[in-house]
Amino acid sequence: MKTYKLFDSEQSLMESMGSETRKIVRIGERKICLVLNQGEFHAFDHLCPHNQHSLFEGTINYKNEVVCPLHSYRFNLADGSECEQRTKPLKIHALKIESDGVFLDVNS
Domains of the chain: 2-106 (2.102.10.10)
What are 39-88's pLDDT values in tens digits? 899 999 999 999 999 999 999 999 999 999 999 999 999 999 999 999 99
* Distances, alpha carbon 57 to alpha carbons 7, 16, 19, 35, in Å: 23, 19, 16, 12
- What pLDDT sits at residue 28? 86
pTM of the model: 0.91
- pLDDT of 108 over the 80 cut: no
